Structure formats: structure tokens, C-alpha cells
Structure 1
Amino acid sequence: MQPLLASDTDVAPERGYLRNRVLLVLVLIALAGGFGLSFLTHAPNRLISGRPVAWSAILADGRFLCLLPGLALLIGPFLRQIRTNHILIALIGAAFAALLFWLAGDAASRLADPASTSARTSFGGAFWVIEAITALAIADALQRAGFGPATRIGISLILVVPIALVLVSGSADQLSIMKEYATRRDVFGAAVVTHIQIVAMTLVPTLLIGVPLGILAFRRPSLRGPLFAVLNIIQTIPSIALFGLLIAPLAGLVATFPVLSQFGISGIGVAPAVIALTLYSLLPIVRNTSAGLEQVPGAVIDAASGMGLTPSQIFRSVEIPLALPVFLAGLRVTIVQAVGLTAVAALIGAGGLGAIIFQGLGSSALDLVLLGVVPLIALAVIVDASLKLVISILKGRAA
């Protein structure tokens, strides 16, 4: 059965004026961030800490109107909990997020000095807090509206369009992070591609090793304890330590068999990164493969056996489809974890977005760090949302 959706005529009884405590808390946090932190900072160059830009300068000449959607969100916690109002809150939140981005870019353009190209205008803490809170408010509104995962993802993509338009229009080009991107456009694109390639290269051996081990753990319960103990120990090793431990063995292996270097294997670079990431990724794959097979009802297997299916047919046609949602949940954890840990692999020369992050840290350039961090977060969110959608579709079909 499909879940009942909130509509304009089907609303649970409400008491009092406060009807959305979650949104109220989010709004209060956003207000605290807006008043307690700086929205923008300005510095003569990228190496000097910037000074806060006054709100009066940012909102001059009627630009305070950009804050009106934010004020409208203040009413949100007291509105009736119906789908129309939830959609309205999501639309207002999207407009507010885009206007804040435009406001920051506009202020940066006005602060820019053609005679001093090294000057930098950067996002302050208030910008990141308010934008993050607005995103959470939008997600809360879409969930309360009763939309399914696919619809929520589709609406979210539409709501991102205003921010994309601000970005494409060039209104934000004078912001420090955009200047960092402009000077590293080619390097940035290559870093994103390399990052995705390392994650994909990690996924292949992880599945080839992890899935059979998960099936083995399911078939042989006596092996489950020792297997998970080993995989748990691997998880406790700090990532940078594991990367470092692989350098000497791989370097020695290449010295003994020089032909391996022709396949890209060396003590540093992609090879140790993929090996270490594979070791880290095995636990969720093995655990969820085994758990997915365990949760298949015995009655279903007995029914399939009574219909004359062989054990291999039962495994392919019954156990695998029913275990797939649990397995995909583990795959989701694995990929998101690999996306994050791949950044650390840049320390051993693997490249990717981590190279940009550590370059920014080494030169004390915060916006260069953000140039690597923001797409890293976006990549993880995209992977997470995509696999959530697939899992929800499979569960819907099973139901």
C-alpha cells in the first residue's frame, strides 16, 4: 500500500500556534549565525585573514530586500502542516539560498579594486551557516509534504537551478573561491575526474572480493566471527597510516618485478590508494551481503523449494532479489566512505580533489581548500541520494 500523503484537506489536528518545532530550531540557529558571525570577509590578499564586511555595506541601496524570503521563513513554524505550505517553504528557501549567493557575489564585485587584483572577498561563517540551515529546511519541508524519494530528488534538482543561474551569470566571479577556480580551471576538472576514477577503481575489487566473502559468511557461520574481526581491525587503522604502510611493500615488489611499473603499480600514487581504500571498503560490503541474505524469510525459501527450484535457482531468483536492498545500503556506505577517504590518498600522490585541499592547507588559502571540499561534499551527496533512490524503488517493487 502507498503511504498516505498530506493534502490541503487531510490534516492531522493541530494544537497551539507552533506547528513545526524542527523548522523553528533551524530558523533560530540561522538567526544566531547571522548575528554572531560575519557574512563576508575582505582581505588584501589570500594569505591574510580577512576583516568582516559590515551588513550595512552588503545590504546598501535596497539590497536588504534579498532578506525578505528569510523573514518569510520565520512564519513557517506557525503555518498549518499541509502540502501547499510545505511546498511554499521549499520554494521560499530555494529563493533565499540563491539570493544570498547573489548578494555575496554582488558585494564582492563592489569591493573589488581593479588596481589590486590580489584582494579577496570570501564567504564568512554566517553565509555557510544560513545556507546549510536553509538546505535542511528545504529537505524537511519536502519530507513533510509526503513526497517519495524520487520526487524529492527531482524537486531538489529544480530548486538548485536559481543558484546555478547565479553561478553561470558571472555574478559571483569576484568571490575568492571563484577566483581560485578561474586560475585552476584545468587542474580542477582533472582533479574531479581523477577522484571519480579512484573511487571507481576501488569499487571493482571491493565487489569482487567483498560479495563472495559475504556469501561465505552467510553459508559458513563459523567463519563469520574471525572474518568480521579481521575486517573490524582494518577499520581501526588510521587511513594515513594504512596508506603509509603500503608504500614500502609495493616499492619492494616493483623493485623485484620491474614489469609491474608498466601497469601503474608503485610505492606511491594510485596503486596503494586503491589497495587501502579496498581494504577499508570490505567491511560494509561483506556485512550487508551477509545480513541481506540472512533476512530472507525462511518461509519464502521453503515455498520456492516446494515449487521444485534448485538451490542455485533459489539463490538467483529469490535470495538475491530480496537481499538486494540491504546490500545496496552497504554499497551506499562504501562509496560515500571511499569518496571521503580518497581525498586523504592525495598525501601519497594519488591526486584527486584532496590534492587541491592539501595545497590550500599548505599555503593557508582557505578558499582553495573550499574549492576542493565543496565538490567533494557535492559528490558524496549525489552518490548518497542516487543510491537512496534505487533502494526505495527496489523496496517499493518488493512491497
Structure 2
Amino acid sequence: MSIAIPAGDRRAPSWRVAAVFAVPAALGASLLPFLSFRPNRIVSGEGILLWRPGTVGAEPLGWAALIGLAALTLLPLPQAARLALALAGAALTVALAGQGANALMAEAPDFARVSLGGGFWVALAFLALAAADAAARLALAPLVRIGLLAGVFGAAALALGSGALDRLSILQEYDANADAFDAAFAGHLKLVLGSLVPALLIGLPLGRLCHASPRARAVAVPVLNLLQTTPSIAMFGLLMVPLGALAAAWPGLRDLGVAGIGAAPAIVALTLYSLLPIVANTMAGFAAVPAHLREAGRGMGMGRRRLLWQVEAPLAAPVILTGIRIVVVQNIGLAAVAALIGGGGFGTLVFRGMGQTAMDLVLLGTLPIVAMAIAATVLFDAAIDSLNRGGPR
């Protein structure tokens, strides 16, 4: 998700705009349970409010500091200060959750669990949105954005490695499913990258052909639109039959991983879903190349191939890369559904958690998907911005 802010707008927003982020964060931390203490991993538990004095694990001083940080974002401060305050508030939110979990589990039996409550998620989400809004208004350089992303992920890794959050139920789920988590991570990357490569090999030439040939465009685009509107579950199901038949007819294909279930139908389906954004953005990118630059290239004696690689492709690259970004983020999410046909990925943890009514296991599969999508968005946006800044003015 991106926030549409005019580039270079470093002014502080009005209090109404800032309140969109600060007020929900403060109300979430104040009115909703910040943590949930449960006798075991499945049953529902008792909600723990952060501000209530005398409640085991509650931190009134921490709650006051968190509300204070959220309130400070309402002031007409420089955007860099708002960014720092929002990030500090998010870090404090996580630290309070870990501290509260440690206090609640100090005298609890080993099978008790402390889960993150609605107050935690609302506060963290809106503080993260406040940070994203401030960063967008700062119009940070691409390398600075990548550095900021690396800093946030590095801080998260340090917090996880420090042991301060180990008593939270989601970390206990990780300890119990570490091997499955590693396999899910590798499987998810396999699905995303395994579908991206053939989609690029097919989509980029097809997009170029559709740009040059109205007849090809009239045939290809409606077909791709039909594929894009097919529900993912239906697409996976439709591909199971022909791929299973191919594997039965040519047993050698099984050695290559082709089968009616597993990663093969998932990769084929994700590839088909990837074609429309890549083809459409490739057509749009080449269509946006100014005609006078093409004429200038021809006037310099450039042939068709040289004109493509030295003039048209560099100018169309930002738009094409935008389509690739859409595909990567889309497939990171869709790959979770592949678990229903044995495709692997983080969806295996999500659906296993749903089957066991273990919501922390569901979160263990969901949060990495969100993190991967955010990282991909920031990296691609930085690359696109770098191409735009380096283009003709």
C-alpha cells in the first residue's frame, strides 16, 4: 500500500490528517485488550488492558508513554520528527508486549499462552501508517528508503533474537514449528520466483508484440483478462486435471516435479495470473515513449534492435517495473492459497493453524507474507524511483 503525497511535501499535515493515525492508535491501546492470557494454545483467554493498575502484566507508565508519543504526532513537527516518533511508538508497543508477556508467564504453567490482543495490533498498525505517511512526505531518496527498511527489519531481528519476546505465544509456536517454518519460507520463495521467471519470459515479448500489433492485442488482452478474473481456487482445480494427466502419460515428467498436486499447478496458475499486469504495463511503457525520441534515434541511424535497447526499453523500464512489482506482491499473497493443493509455502502454517483453532500459528504464517510484500514494495518502488530520476527531464 502506498500513500499519495506530492513529492517533496515536507510540511506537517493538519491536525485532522495526523489524527487519522494518532487517535486510532491511542484508542486501540487504551480501550482494547493489549494482551490475552490463555490457559493453553486453543481456548479463549482473559483480555489484559495495558493501562489498568494492579493487573498482572499491565504497564500504566508504558501506556502513558505510548499515548504521549501518539499525541506528539499531532503537533506541527517536521516530518523527520514525526517519522522518529512513530517508529519509537511502534518499538515501544512491541517492547510493552514482550514485557507484559514475561510478567504474565512468570508464575504460569508452561502450557499457558500469552497472545497479542486487538489493542496491540491497532496501535502498531496505525503507528506504522503514521511512519509511512511521514516517510512519503519526506520524499526520501531510494537508497535512504532501502536503508530505513533494512533498519526496521534489523531492529525486528534484534528484538526477536534478544529473547525479550520469547514468552509470547507466536514465538512459542515458532519454536515448536521451526522446521516447518523454514520449509514454508523456502516453498513460498520457490512459488513466487518460480512463477515470476516464466511470466517475464512470456509477458515481456508478448507485451512488446501487443504494442506493435493491434491484431495481437485484440486477441491476447481479452484472454489475459479472462485468466485474471478466474478465482484462484478454481484455477488451481482446473490445472490439476491436465497436469495429472501429463504426469500419468509421461512418467518422466514426475521427476521434474510435474503432477496434479503440489508446486507445479501452483506455479502454472501464478504464472498465468502474472501475465496481464506484465503485458499491460509493457504496452503502456512502450506507448509512453515520446515519438520525437524515436525519430531522433532513427535520424542517428539506429536500426530497430538498437532503437529498442538504447532508447525505447530504458524509457519504458519504470512502467514495466511497476507491472513486475504488482505481480510480485500479488503472487506473494496468492501463493498462500497453494497450500490447499500441496504447493507448500506459508499457507501450510495458516491452514494448519485454522484447522487447530490456533490463531498464533495462523499469525506465524501470515506475518511473514505481509513482511515479504512490504519489503518487495519498498525495493521495487526505490528501483522505479531511481529509474525515473535518471531519465530525461
Shorter chain as normaliser: what TM range? Answer: over 0.9
Q: Which position in structure 1 is the counterpart of 2:333?
A: 340
- In 2: Cα distance, 1:54 partner to 1:398 partner: 53
Against the structure 1 CA distance between its residues 158 and 383, is the aligned structure 2 distance closer, same or farther, given a 3 Å change threshold?
same
Q: Which position in structure 2 is the counterpart of 1:240?
A: 233
Deviation string for 1:135-190 (max 9, x for gaps)?
Answer: 11112122223422432332343355444433221111010100000111121112
Q: TM-score, normalised by structure 2?
A: 0.92
Against the structure 1 CA distance between its residues 68 and 32, is the aligned structure 2 distance closer, same or farther, given a 3 Å change threshold?
closer
SS state of the match for residue 250, structure 1?
helix
Matched residues, number: 384
Against the structure 1 CA distance between its residues 114 and 256, is the aligned structure 2 distance closer, same or farther, given a 3 Å change threshold?
farther
Q: Does 1:311 align with 2:296?
A: no
Gaps of 5+ in 1: none
Q: Which position in structure 1 is the counterpart of 2:192?
A: 199
Contact 1:70 1:93 (C-alpha < 8 Å) held by counterparts: no
Residue 66 of structure 1: how far off its partner (Å): 5.6
User: What one-letter code is carried by the residue in structure 1 that aligns with 2:46?
Assistant: R
Q: Does 1:141 align with 2:134?
A: yes
- In 2: Cα distance, 1:67 partner to 1:200 partner: 45
The within-5 A match list for 1:1-399 is 19-55=14-50, 56=52, 57=55, 60=58, 64-65=61-62, 67-80=64-77, 85-112=78-105, 116-399=109-392
User: What one-letter code is carried by the residue in structure 1 that aligns with 2:73?
Assistant: G
Deviation string for 1:347-399 (max 9, x for gaps)?
Answer: 10011111011100111110000000000100111111111111110111104
SS state of the match for residue 78, structure 1?
coil
- In 1: Cα distance, 2:379 partner to 2:137 partner: 20
Contact 2:39 2:113 (C-alpha < 8 Å) held by counterparts: yes
SS state of the match for residue 41, structure 1?
strand
- In 2: Cα distance, 1:208 partner to 1:171 partner: 46
Q: Percent identity?
A: 42
Residue 269 of structure 1: how far off its partner (Å): 0.3
- In 2: Cα distance, 1:224 partner to 1:27 partner: 48
Residue 33 of structure 1: how far off its partner (Å): 2.0
Contact 1:143 1:152 (C-alpha < 8 Å) held by counterparts: no
Residue 67 of structure 1: how far off its partner (Å): 3.8
Deviation string for 1:19-66 (max 9, x for gaps)?
Answer: 343212211122232333211111111111122013322665x65146
Residue 254 of structure 1: how far off its partner (Å): 1.2
Q: CA RMSD in A?
A: 2.1
Against the structure 1 CA distance between its residues 172 and 30, is the aligned structure 2 distance closer, same or farther, given a 3 Å change threshold?
same
Contact 1:95 1:162 (C-alpha < 8 Å) held by counterparts: no
Residue 106 of structure 1: how far off its partner (Å): 1.5
Contact 2:149 2:375 (C-alpha < 8 Å) held by counterparts: no
- In 1: Cα distance, 2:81 partner to 2:178 partner: 37
Residue 115 of structure 1: how far off its partner (Å): 6.2
Deviation string for 1:253-290 (max 9, x for gaps)?
Answer: 11111111111111100111111111111000111111
- In 2: Cα distance, 1:73 partner to 1:222 partner: 56
